[in-house]
Structure 1
């Protein structure tokens, strides 16, 4: 099989997903095969009607096929991983410790320890077991030479391991795609996006190439997140007129080529009108700061289906206004595709901007950002994105070096941010981690600028900056706010400046029909807070404490960190719903469309699995010893929970 992959005699049909296994998973696979654990069967398709294919994530010399290929339907991750190990792929440097019989990916530590041997070296047909055994004995192995030879020999014998192969013959591509969907849905969760991509590739030969070419175009313009996944979701949205669902792939199967071609032209035209608009009006020269790419899809529909080549100023501004409000309100943090369906319908109305704003329930009010809404927000909050936009609007530059805070080159480093008051200067019981990492203490400066600060207070380093450099970043210049004692007042002052600037940004794009209506808070969760604090770790029975507060809300509860982490990973990787115990009650951890939601006391906390993972990683980085856990009196919360985005947690 390894040779057949190298010779392009085993190929991947276009319906396959990308290779996604991490090095740790590859090492576990080798360990399982070494121990004789079940490997699972492999499913192939044999056909004379050669389909479009995609590259396997392997390397090697130019293939020289000597027989017709088989197309791999199930087993891509396993076979690709094996090929990488056998061929010494740089991303699969699996090593074996001969004494404890452990496999892991190569690291600096294993390179220093000669008792670790690279699996690829053992699998090499020319490898001498005698020399490898002697090398390990010379390294101080306490095993007898015959034991070393036996263990290395078991790795060597992996070349002769037999696997069960099932080969489909006589099936057309459409049926094979359906088989692929059914088979893969039973393993790693096949989401609605995977279903749509598989169906599109059967309906429209060469669609993957079209999506990849378009993705490359936008990568060259700094918008690398306009990838194949985004484009396939956008195409399905245009063609179906709604977000994705299990229903979608059967509907896509009935779509004709003409309709798909027309939909694809709409997507391309919409992007070519929308991205320059974002660059011109918001100075958003890259896609990575956007909290959600889905927010662009209704606007792609709106702009791509317009017959006029130009977009009037009122519509252009209304589009930006809706994008900003949809971001503040985390429009797609829950029921993603249901809301996307609503917004695509709105984008096709005679007055699309008004219809889109009706979907946000702000058609009869002016949205405003309050200082209260910014209190306790962190870099995971959508206000982090707005703070970048207002800094860009003021032509903020990197302190001391004067470079652009958001360079637009394809290979530019990711957006950087650092603390105005460094954490080391706020090592005081008065300032908890939420205060230290408050959005109001973050500015968009480079790592080089942060090193120049080098743990100094603003009182020490502000004098080396011009006041205009501070004002561009909405940083107050009052000397009394530069010491740790003045830090709480610094946060208040900067929140005031940020809120003022964010409202000015909203006012710049607000449609005229909203001028004469009442003002309301732009963020429905303003004044509400959910603080997370981790004590201990995943290994020692760590507990995560939740503290909810707000108008009429005061609640504390805790959960076992390992149990909650496991439930989130099960939902993220396999789409499996489960339950966890929070404040003594069993609550469901549920996947609803692409959103994971958990009821935590007064809040129904929602977000994508990736957003939950980011928040939990944040807590792991700032965990406190288990011995520091304070007494927690958990109380049952009986009222209806309020929806709360996980990105707004502290």
Structure 2
């Protein structure tokens, strides 16, 4: 079969050019080369910047760039490149948009055109050290030594050689001239696309995998769906503004994109997010509108029903995406459904379910949520089991890890009292995780070290409670038997035991602490934490005995869990 493509109109093939790198930087400054709105931000770090400059001065190849030349004057573009202002394009003239090579061109532009009156700690405050023969960053606007030449002078021959002429050593002068020549003569391959429709250009950009910094799924979807009237970033910002209004803190872009993909009828996985590229801007905007409403309900639930006032308190950030989808499909839960959502949260927080959230689980979650929304199931069914009480004795308390956050939520749920003062602990401050100053060892660290316990034994979750810093300083390194006796003498033992109970230290654990029996304390407290967790999940039998089991068994040590091969998660 013969395919006739003559009706598609004239086609201009991509045109290769070999411009000088310094000229490209000048063209950026003058608005001839621009960043389209669907480009992502500058993401290179200081090391990558210096390595690129070093490659140029050593005449190493740095790859090609891809430009799109068009007369679309109304196409939205950035007015800054690498944080530096650029001039607007000339009206009526074609401009060139960077499709591939942004990080490299931005680096050259920033290094050559940064102005010293800007932030001295800028990533573009760079000098070339002629003695060391290498580029380096400076953090001050003081004049550098004569043998260090600011890279910004490379854009102006008069200024550059005026500086070089003041260098006394002939060898350093020769090196300076060589550096200038390398930057002026260095050429780079540039492919220019002409007369291509904007929707096709966005697709081309979406297929590019830049050599230095690969595009993530959010960048790819943004590029492939971008039009002059639709920018995915603006839609994501809409959802982030919802969370900011609730003072819930930042949720990462990928998690937000998962919620959008699910609301669009796709799912939570990377492939589901990628399939957003097949939808129109109108369809995505509609999904964002639904997510915005559901996200408010999810945040209210987390803050009031669970006690997670901020996103930082979630044991797993990925819990947020399915929870939003639940409230999208069940906007007005019944009392029984609220209880089921409550149980789902605590179960997924405790069983390590989201540690290796893979595409198979994501599909199962979509089905489970739909079944729950249709009231065909009483619970959001998942395959996971509650770890045993050993969990609390085997997992380390490390700031911001999942077991520590789970413990913090359990403690916050009890509205704990400070052991020494009897005042309520500021759980909102503790759950912000800006620091871990509200969490301290019940058996002091130095006391246990003297008793020959290892750091791993000392720092298990079962040995931590919420405690004010002032009270922790008062306890210092005293044995529990001593500081508890002093507290009981001044406050009364019944009162101290009541305060300890709000910290989930029961009578058996308290008695073990009075004997300085660390092992006995850990056993008793781990059991208390376990029973409290299983009660929240709703898995205790009617007599209050052993918890019922569901799904598969999870290891009690999170650190020992192996990641699934088909893992599809950032956590």
Bin of the TM-score, shorter chain as denominator length:
0.7 to 0.9
Residue deviations 1:517-545 (CA, integer Å, cap 9, x gap): 971279822456867xxxxxxxxxxxxxx
- How far residue 271 of structure 1 moved from its aligned partner, in angstroms, is 0.5
Report what 2:200 is aligned to.
175
Report what 1:268 is aligned to.
292
- How far residue 511 of structure 1 moved from its aligned partner, in angstroms, is 11
**1:80-479 mapped onto 2 (5 Å cutoff):** 80-86=106-112, 87=114, 90-92=121-123, 93-106=125-138, 117=148, 119-120=150-151, 123=154, 125=156, 127=159, 145-157=169-181, 160=184, 161-184=186-209, 188-202=213-227, 205-246=230-271, 249=274, 251-306=275-330, 310-334=332-356, 336-349=358-371, 351=373, 359-361=381-383, 370-379=388-397, 382-396=402-416, 404-407=426-429, 413=434, 418-420=439-441, 421=443, 423-427=445-449, 430-444=452-466, 467=496, 470-475=500-505, 478=510
Question: Which of the pair has the greater relative contact order for Cα pairs under 8 Å at 6+ separation?
Answer: 2
Contact 1:387 1:502 in 2 (8 A): no
The answer to whether the aligner puts 1:520 opposite 2:532 as a matched pair is no
**1:475-490 mapped onto 2 (5 Å cutoff):** 475=505, 478=510, 481=513, 486-490=517-521
Q: Following the alignment from structure 1 to structure 2, what is the Cα–Cα distance between the partners of residues 473 and 406?
A: 16
Larger displacement relative to structure 2 (116-125 or 282-291): 116-125
Contact 2:75 2:228 in 1 (8 A): no
Contact 2:64 2:188 in 1 (8 A): yes
Residue deviations 1:574-615 (CA, integer Å, cap 9, x gap): xxxxxxxxxxxxxx99963535xxxxxxxxxxxx4xx6xxxx
Residue deviations 1:387-409 (CA, integer Å, cap 9, x gap): 11122112237887966243499
Q: Following the alignment from structure 1 to structure 2, what is the Cα–Cα distance between the partners of residues 173 and 18?
A: 20
For structure 1, which runs of at least 5 residues remain unmatched after alignment? 136-143, 532-547, 549-587, 596-607, 612-650
- How far residue 258 of structure 1 moved from its aligned partner, in angstroms, is 4.5
Q: Following the alignment from structure 1 to structure 2, what is the Cα–Cα distance between the partners of residues 61 and 413?
A: 34
Residue deviations 1:8-35 (CA, integer Å, cap 9, x gap): 5433334323332222222222222222
Report what 1:18 is aligned to.
41
TM-score scaled to structure 1, two decimals?
Answer: 0.67
Contact 1:95 1:104 in 2 (8 A): yes
Contact 1:24 1:104 in 2 (8 A): no
- How far residue 285 of structure 1 moved from its aligned partner, in angstroms, is 0.9
- How far residue 56 of structure 1 moved from its aligned partner, in angstroms, is 5.2
The answer to whether the aligner puts 1:503 opposite 2:534 as a matched pair is yes
Q: Is the partner of 1:320 in helix, strand or coil?
A: helix
Residue deviations 1:408-454 (CA, integer Å, cap 9, x gap): 999x9356564414544443684233212212233456778767766
Figure out how many residues of one structure are paired with residues of the other and give that number.
522
- Structure 2 CA distance for partners of 1:80 and 1:461, relative to 1, 3 Å: farther
- How far residue 277 of structure 1 moved from its aligned partner, in angstroms, is 0.9
Residue deviations 1:120-177 (CA, integer Å, cap 9, x gap): 4654747566767878xxxxxxxx8122233444454565243332221122233222
Q: Following the alignment from structure 2 to structure 1, what is the Cα–Cα distance between the partners of residues 474 and 182?
A: 54
Q: Which has the higher strand share?
A: 1
Structure 1 residue corresponding to 2:68, chosen from 27, 30, 45: 45
**1:592-603 mapped onto 2 (5 Å cutoff):** 592-595=566-569
Contact 2:372 2:379 in 1 (8 A): no
Contact 1:443 1:473 in 2 (8 A): yes
Q: Is the partner of 1:427 in helix, strand or coil?
A: helix
TM-score scaled to structure 2, two decimals?
Answer: 0.75
Larger displacement relative to structure 2 (314-323 or 93-102): 93-102
Residue deviations 1:82-141 (CA, integer Å, cap 9, x gap): 334341663414454443334344479x99996984744654747566767878xxxxxx
- How far residue 60 of structure 1 moved from its aligned partner, in angstroms, is 3.9
Larger displacement relative to structure 2 (69-78 or 83-92): 83-92
- Structure 2 CA distance for partners of 1:299 and 1:422, relative to 1, 3 Å: same
**1:60-79 mapped onto 2 (5 Å cutoff):** 60-61=84-85, 63-66=87-90, 68-79=94-105
Contact 2:351 2:387 in 1 (8 A): no
Q: Is the partner of 2:367 in helix, strand or coil?
A: helix
Report what 1:30 is aligned to.
53
- How far residue 240 of structure 1 moved from its aligned partner, in angstroms, is 3.7
Q: State the superposition RMSD in angstroms.
A: 4.5
- How far residue 278 of structure 1 moved from its aligned partner, in angstroms, is 0.8
Q: Following the alignment from structure 1 to structure 2, what is the Cα–Cα distance between the partners of residues 517 and 487?
A: 25
Contact 1:241 1:344 in 2 (8 A): no
- Higher Cα radius of gyration: 2
Contact 2:344 2:380 in 1 (8 A): no
Q: Following the alignment from structure 1 to structure 2, what is the Cα–Cα distance between the partners of residues 514 and 53?
A: 66
Q: Is the partner of 2:311 in helix, strand or coil?
A: coil
Q: Following the alignment from structure 1 to structure 2, what is the Cα–Cα distance between the partners of residues 491 and 517?
A: 19
Contact 1:221 1:409 in 2 (8 A): no
Contact 1:14 1:208 in 2 (8 A): no
Q: Is the partner of 1:184 in helix, strand or coil?
A: coil
Contact 1:34 1:155 in 2 (8 A): yes
- How far residue 45 of structure 1 moved from its aligned partner, in angstroms, is 1.4
Residue deviations 1:326-383 (CA, integer Å, cap 9, x gap): 2223323335233222212322225568759564237xxxx65532232211246533
Contact 2:63 2:189 in 1 (8 A): yes
Contact 2:32 2:95 in 1 (8 A): yes
- How far residue 269 of structure 1 moved from its aligned partner, in angstroms, is 1.4
Contact 1:242 1:344 in 2 (8 A): yes
Q: Following the alignment from structure 2 to structure 1, what is the Cα–Cα distance between the partners of residues 548 and 512?
A: 33
